[in-house]
Amino acid sequence: MRITTQHSDRAFQILFYGLCVFYLVFYMPFGFEGTDTGYIFGSSWNVYNGEFPHRDFIYTRPAFPAYFHSIFLFISETYGYLLDRSFFYVQVFTYSLLAAKILADHFEIKQKTFLYFIASLGAIVSVHNYPPMGWNTIDGIFFCTLGLYFLLKPKLKPVQVLLGSLFLVLGVFSKQSFYFMPLFLFLYFLLRKDFKKLAWYSATGLCCLLLYLAFKYATGTLEPFFEQTFQRTGAGSLMNVGVKTYYLAVKFNLLYFSIGILLFIAAVKYLPKNIAYALSQLSIAVLFSIVYLNDSDNWSIVPYLLQLLLLITFGFALFKILIHKDRRFLLVILLLCLSWSASISNGYQTPIHFSLPVFFTLYLIVFSAEKRTSELDKLTLQPLTGGIVILAFLVTFYLGYQSIYRDAPRKDLNRDMGEVFPQLTFIKSDTEGFEKYSELKTLAIKYPNFTVIPSMTLAHYLTGTVNPIGTDWPLDVEINDEATLLEQQLKEKNTTILLENAPLTKEQRDGYELIDRIEQNWKLIDRTQFFDIYQPQ
């Protein structure tokens, strides 16, 4: 039977939503370690217990994610963490679809098969082999994309502009790197000469900003917010992670970068569009696969791939604007700027979390080789091409997920953590993790006024206790080098310290002044398999 357009559209729509469910079922249980995967949710547990970030505990980021993810605790204290992990996939698939709709509508691409294909591809790549968790970068992309979805509607409706401005402000206050997005959008409206929408956006955006700052002031968190967050937002840091890392990505891969571009240009010029597109995407999948197969500690290498792709797509969009005078590509630049903003980080410096604009633009490069991009519907993506590309990336990131972020290999994650804590039902860990959290459960009963150092970020949520110092991860950079202050607070509250005795590298150890202070100034009262137990002298 011949596959009609209607059949194809329906199949890719089902594929998109089916993939989201697939990730929820088969990937959500994996990726559980003591630092990042519980850091935001641990802060949300503090909020749930009546504490305010910045005022009651040190928090070096804008605090909206801590408030936002506490919603799941109000829904279910027991299963809030599971809901939060699951929502990670909902966020990524949602903002990928919204971004695809924004761009497809803007370029008048009416093919539903393409819409759900590119949204699926963007979501798969953005998830890659990242563990499911509440994270400020994901929140920033999610709310900024929601904001852009309403603000970029072709017809001006004040309610939509207000909603868009509100969501954009929430995105901005998810992480410092998104502070630039209001300015980027302002410039976009200015360059498009959409002065009426610019005026509405400026007015509603200012109102939403003032409302958020008023909330901070009313809760006594405004002044400490500025004091604690702006230590991490210097111009030097921006240059290092927002500019220098991209320069180094080109410098260290210049030969491969140049060869790749030449081969890509040749494919686009001489091969049929669908074949050229399939080969280009399969090449990217193969590059990812090589990284995953040859380097289990692939987190330092993965950023380069998307950094280089962002530079290629940004260059193409700029070329279309300056040479072909196609101002529609201003929107591509705007969304690529959101991808760039997501890459500004002390840790994971890559635009991969918002890959949709990159992969959408790669599609445009292939299918708009002619001068007029309006001919895109005449050069449609074939369903077979889309299916092959999706399958290739699913296989690629299946390989990636065999080596979970800061966790044991996936084949060893066979213990049900719900047997220790009901909050961790369905979550898998290895035998060591299972035994460690079992020991934590026992010690929390024996020493109810405790905290874990350096990092079991879900310890207090799981044991139903409140952290005496608020912060669950006293890494120097996460506490603005306030180890002395935190030690004093721990002493004043007569806290028992459960110091993890797993060996740290010298580099890791140098990041925790508080560990040194505990070992030097506190009394060791007991040792267990996983913890050294200290109390004040």
CA distances (Å), origin 46, targets 37, 50, 461: 16, 7, 9
Which H or E element spans position 451?
strand 450-453
Q: Is the pLDDT of residue 480 over 50?
A: yes
Tell me which of 88 and 406 has the higher pLDDT: 88
User: 213 falls in which pLDDT band (50, 70, 90)?
Assistant: very high
**d(Cα 433, Cα 34) in Å, to the nearest integer?**
10
pLDDT digits (tens, 9 = 90+) for 167-207: 999 999 999 999 999 999 999 999 999 999 999 999 999 99
Q: Tell me how crowded residue 25 is: count the other CB atoms within 10 A of its CB.
A: 12
Q: Tell me how crowded residue 410 is: count the other CB atoms within 10 A of its CB.
A: 18
Q: Tell me how crowded residue 406 is: count the other CB atoms within 10 A of its CB.
A: 14
Strand order in the sheet with 496-500: 450-453, 496-500, 531-536, 522-527
Q: Which of 390, 111, 379, 356 is nearest to 271 (CA)?
A: 379
**d(Cα 59, Cα 63) in Å, to the nearest integer?**
7
pLDDT digits (tens, 9 = 90+) for 112-159: 999 999 999 999 999 998 899 999 999 999 999 999 999 999 988 999
Q: Is the pLDDT of residue 278 over 50?
A: yes
Mean pLDDT of the residues in the chain: 92
**d(Cα 163, Cα 435) in Å, to the nearest integer?**
47
Place of tokens 């009394």: 523
Q: Is the pLDDT of residue 485 over 50?
A: yes
Q: Is the pLDDT of residue 483 over 70?
A: yes
**d(Cα 430, Cα 417) in Å, to the nearest integer?**
9
CA distances (Å), origin 531, targets 214, 303, 439, 453, 465: 43, 35, 9, 9, 18
Amino acid at 335: L
**d(Cα 87, Cα 79) in Å, to the nearest integer?**
12
Cβ atoms of 57 and 123 within 8 Å: the answer is: no
